[in-house]
Amino acid sequence: MELEVLDIKGKGTGKKVELDKDIFGIEPNDHAIYLDVKQYLAHQRQGTHKAKERSEVRGSTKKIKRQKGTGTARFGDIKNPIFRGGGRTFGPRPRTYGAKLNKKVKELARKSALSYKVKNNQVMILQDFTLEQPRTKDFSDIQKNLKVDDKKTIFVLNERNKNVYLSSRNLQNSKVVTISELNTYDIMNATALLFAESSLDVLQKKA
């Protein structure tokens, strides 16, 4: 499949690029996408939640009443979990939510996500560009020229560009990443995927 290379004004440059079928034209594997997205979201969790159990709550350890003969249930100390102010039974503990996923599964998931985007005509190729200074309006004008200002967009660059990144970060539905940072979750979450020409070359050479 061929796509025309556009400039930042939204006009064709007359150049076309061929998309690699092994990356953008495979039969998508939904389960691989699910596993990769699940792992990505799990890694976003801090896992710092913590509740005090009865051994950690401040309070007296004196037995409240005698064990037998009261006609009611037996009780230990005031830190009993059923009392107000007592410890929590089996409360959350700090933990890591991360899970291992095979490298080939992650690659399959990303290729599947890219293939979905191509099928839905949500991929665009841009001529390499830069901005002279960080300015949100300049980046917003680029989105309007490309008619993606009302969509969730991801701009994929070959390498970090500070001015482009700073110009985009105030825009809620726009994200700028390098080709090494591109992941399955971001691809599936976007409704417009814009590759800089050089980043596409790097992606297709790695495959």
Q: Residue 157 belongs to what domain range?
A: 2-29+101-206
Query: What are the backbone angles phi and psi of residue 13, rounded to the nearest 5°?
Result: -95, -5
Count of residues in the chain: 207
The residues, ordered by sequence, that sit 6+ positions from 138 with a Cβ below 8 Å of its Cβ are 131, 167
- φ and ψ of 51, to 5 deg: -125, 145
CA proximity to 159, closest of 181, 190, 131: 181
Q: Is residue 84 part of a domain?
A: no
The verdict on residue 46 lying in a domain is no
CA 137, CA 171: separation in Å to the nearest integer? 10
Q: How many CA atoms lie within 13 A of 80 on its CB side?
A: 11
The pTM score is 0.82
Per-residue pLDDT of the chain (207 residues; tens, 9 = 90+): 788 989 888 888 888 888 989 999 999 999 999 999 999 999 999 999 999 999 999 999 999 999 999 999 998 999 999 999 999 999 999 999 988 999 999 999 999 999 999 999 999 999 999 899 999 999 999 999 999 989 999 999 999 999 999 999 999 899 999 999 999 999 999 999 999 999 988 888 876
pLDDT score, position 1: 78
Say which CATH number the domain at 183 has.
3.40.1370.10
Give the whole-angstrom CA distance, residue 149 versus residue 174: 9
Q: How far is it, in rounded angstroms, from Cα 90 to Cα 165?
A: 44
Give the residues across from 175 on adjacent strands.
154
b/e map 143-157, b = 16+ CB within 10 Å: beebebbebbbbbbb
Distance (Å, whole) CA 136 – CA 116: 30
How high is the pLDDT of residue 205? Answer: 82
In the chain, the number of structural domains is 1
**What is the pLDDT, as a whole number, of residue 12?**
85
| Residue 135 within any structural domain of the chain | yes
Residue 93, domain member (yes or no):
no
Closest alpha carbon to 193 in 138, 127, 117:
117
160 assigned to some structural domain:
yes
Distance of alpha carbon 30 from alpha carbon 116, whole angstroms: 10
Q: For residue 64, tell me if it sits in a domain.
A: no
Q: How far apart are the first and last CA of the chain?
A: 17
- Please report whether residue 82 resides in a domain: no
User: In the prediction, which pLDDT does 32 show?
Assistant: 96
The answer for 47, left when phi > 0, alpha when psi is -120 to 50, beta otherwise, is left
Tell me if 45 is assigned to some domain.
Answer: no
